[in-house]
Amino acid sequence: MPAPREGPLRAMKSVFEIIVIACFVTTFIAQPFQIPTGSMTPTLRVGDFLLVDKQTFALGSEHDGAGRYGVLPKSSVQRGDIIVFHWPVDPSMHLVKRVIGVPGDRIRLRHGRVWLNGEPLAEPYAYYAPSRPNSFRDEFPSLREADPNVEPDWWMKLRRSVAEHELTVPPGQYFVLGDNRNDSEDSRYWGFVPRSAIVGRPLLVYFAVRPAPAGGAFFAQLRAALRYAFGSVRILR
């Protein structure tokens, strides 16, 4: 006797279950993102696809206990963490930067190098591309003149917040910078990241694309693209 065929309702039910599970995973556990700019070069490159852990920095995780709930251990946001967050200027946009200052930290830059709480910060991940001097960018928080890329509201707040040539990170806020220091619009230009805006931290680069070079055979370009895509897979720490 032949096995009964699945009806359309059962097939629709299976598809619906897959969609529900996918929505649950991307909402609460992990979500893919693509790097659109070079502000985190060389740590993250344009065209990298990230899998972002949304549990570790979930709100309340500092009080839940590591690994008490969920698939991945939970922890508080630390200096040096790479985070994905809603841009405070336009929350519909996601940005990726590195946490430099946590609440209570005193921040300043001298000749482009970060000083944290009165001491130079060791940053092996920071990259300084050749560029023209920029006093606002390199001597932050410099109040002598505003950079044209600075958000006006942040410029006014900055003028009221600087003390002894330093900026103190307020409670519930974080100071972030791009690793590509001379080509990154970050907390220097638009302010702190609220704790509630943090989406998660990148776990790994699972794929990557780059613009195809002009000319060349199609299959040669395809092989090069696949080699680059899968050769870029790496775990982020």
In the chain, domain spans: 23-235
Asked whether residue 191 carries a pLDDT value surpassing 90, the answer given is: yes
Q: Are 178 and 184 in contact (CB under 8 A)?
A: yes
DSSP 13: H
Catalytic residue flag (residue 39): yes
> What pLDDT is recorded for position 216?
65
Q: Are 77 and 87 in contact (CB under 8 A)?
A: no
Residue type (1 letter), 179: D
> What pLDDT is recorded for position 30?
61
CA distances from 213 to 46, 47, 92, 228 (A): 15, 15, 33, 13
Any alpha helices (H) in 37-183, and if so which ranges? 61-64, 135-138, 152-161
Q: Which two tokens stand for residue 137?
A: 């960018």
Q: pTM higher than 0.85 for the full model?
A: no
Length of the chain as a residue count: 237
CA distance 167 to 193: 14
> What pLDDT is recorded for position 235?
86
User: What's the whole-number average pLDDT of the chain?
Assistant: 83
> What pLDDT is recorded for position 65?
42
What are the start-end ranges of the E strands in the chain?
30-34, 48-53, 82-86, 94-101, 106-110, 113-116, 119-120, 167-168, 173-177, 193-194, 198-208, 234-235
Q: Read off the pLDDT of residues 52-84 as tens digits, 9 standing for 90 and up.
A: 888 888 775 444 344 444 555 567 899 999 999
Asked whether residue 178 carries a pLDDT value surpassing 50, the answer given is: yes
Of the residues 54, 61, 74, 97, only one is catalytic, namely 97
- Neighbour count for residue 236 (Cβ, 10 Å): 16
Give me the CATH topology for the region 23-235: Umud Fragment, subunit A (2.10.109)
Asked whether residue 215 carries a pLDDT value surpassing 50, the answer given is: yes
For residue 42, say if its preceding peptide bond is cis, omega within 30 degrees of 0: yes
Of the residues 39, 142, 184, 187, only one is catalytic, namely 39
Nearest to 36 by CA among 108, 115, 93, 105: 93
Catalytic residue flag (residue 92): no
- Neighbour count for residue 112 (Cβ, 10 Å): 16
